[in-house]
Amino acid sequence: MAKHAVLSSGAKMWRSMSCVKSELRLDLTLACGQSFRWRETAEGHWTGVMGGRVWTLTQTDDTLWYHVYTNKERDDKKKVGVSLQEENWTQKKCEGALIQEEGEPSPINAKHDDVEMEMLRDYFQLHVKLQDLYKEWGSADCHFKKIADIFTGVRMLRQDPTECLFSFICTSNNHISRIQGMVERLCQALGTPLCQLDHTSYYDFPTISTLADSSVEGCLRDLGFGYRARFLQQSARQILDTHGLQWLEGLRKVPYLEARDALRTLPGVGTKVADCVCLMSLDKSEAVPIDTHVWQIAKRDYKYAAKNGQKTLTDKLHKEISDFFRELWGPYAGWAHSVLFCADLKKFQSLKESTHLKQPKKEEEEKEQCRKTNIKRELDGSGTNTKTRSECQKKAKLSVKKEMVT
């Protein structure tokens, strides 16, 4: 049986590209709740499904290493004429690539390798210079600067819109580990088998056509999805009947608010889920998803006070808080938000605590700097700062321009 690849077993099975950890940290980016398909299968090795393929990723200080598994089970099905899901452009470009037996080194195939490298660059949006953004955010926000010294390399993924949407419909009243289990069961029940490694089977994400079938709701209820089962099936059916298969990807080309409002017409999609999909799959870097967790960050770390002492997160309050962060961080506000969200997760608290123990003097210096620059923000009901801005905040304009992937 094929096993999960490990870099120490031999680098000739792997491909690589230059990428320093300050631009990408796999352990933070893949485990902070953006995608639910990645697992750490060996120390520092992450295995998951992306673009209809199974990958294992790992990294050294200045290099990103990747191994893509062959798809023997899928190829066997093709031989007997079993119909499969539609393949995306990345898969089509790889048609005709040589398939090796599991465990054998793949031949150097320039075309194949170029496509896989481009898939990774697109998925991690490596054209965006994260270190430059961190510097800009740190200049505008002293609290961010303190967090950024610990949580470097948190990038925003550019996921498949279908997978992102239907995964985030599962997030309602849920937590990351349980969402991961639900998404895995969804793929096992309705997705195309890809391969098996160390007794673990990997599946592609189901298509919209598959999810729209009338039998899906009952199937997912049996798998423990509860009320979310209906939302998943009905949203898929509405997209198929009203918009068509290309609609979701087409939302990448429309303005942020138009895309968000379009998503909100789907069953089970509120403002927070719509913003997550906009940010994590539709190229809307200004989208700032707000949930109670982010609201607590705003109140605790930015002295945000809602008008009239609101105690529930309404759409109006969602807009006020997200506008506040957009004004502070600029056009990549959603990316900055993901860094603070990651830093506040319980699973990463040990990283924060161990780093603070090593740098007590530096932390005190930063606190004193923030005190001297008067980082207190008093907000009116619209979320706009009405008091004198600190020197840090006056530097909030971003000069970074996003290069869209064509």
pLDDT digits (tens, 9 = 90+) for 251-300: 999 999 999 999 999 999 999 999 999 999 999 999 999 999 999 999 99
DSSP 97: P
Q: What is the pLDDT of residue 358?
A: 52
pLDDT digits (tens, 9 = 90+) for 111-150: 567 899 999 999 999 999 999 999 999 999 999 999 998 9
- Mark out the alpha helices in 303-390 (DSSP H runs): 315-329, 333-344, 349-358, 360-372
Query: How far is residue 196's CA from residue 406's CA, in Å, rounded to a whole number?
Result: 33
How many residues belong to the chain? 406
Tokens at 385, concatenated: 């700062």
Q: Is 12 one of the catalytic residues?
A: no
DSSP 40: E
Query: How far is residue 185's CA from residue 31's CA, in Å, rounded to a whole number?
Result: 18
Query: How far is residue 66's CA from residue 17's CA, in Å, rounded to a whole number?
Result: 9
| Spans in the chain with pLDDT lower than 50 | 73-109, 357, 373-406
- Beta-bridge partners for 45: 42
Q: What is the pLDDT of residue 193?
A: 97
Query: How far is residue 109's CA from residue 212's CA, in Å, rounded to a whole number?
Result: 38
Q: Order across the sheet with 53-60: list the strands.
A: 15-18, 63-68, 53-60, 45-50, 39-42
Which entry of 145, 146, 272, 284 is annotated as an active-site residue? Answer: 272
Q: What is the pLDDT of residue 312?
A: 85
Backbone Cα Rg of the chain: 22
Query: How far is residue 66's CA from residue 104's CA, in Å, rounded to a whole number?
Result: 16
Q: What is the pLDDT of residue 174?
A: 86
Q: HSE on the CB side for 239, CA within 13 Å? A: 30
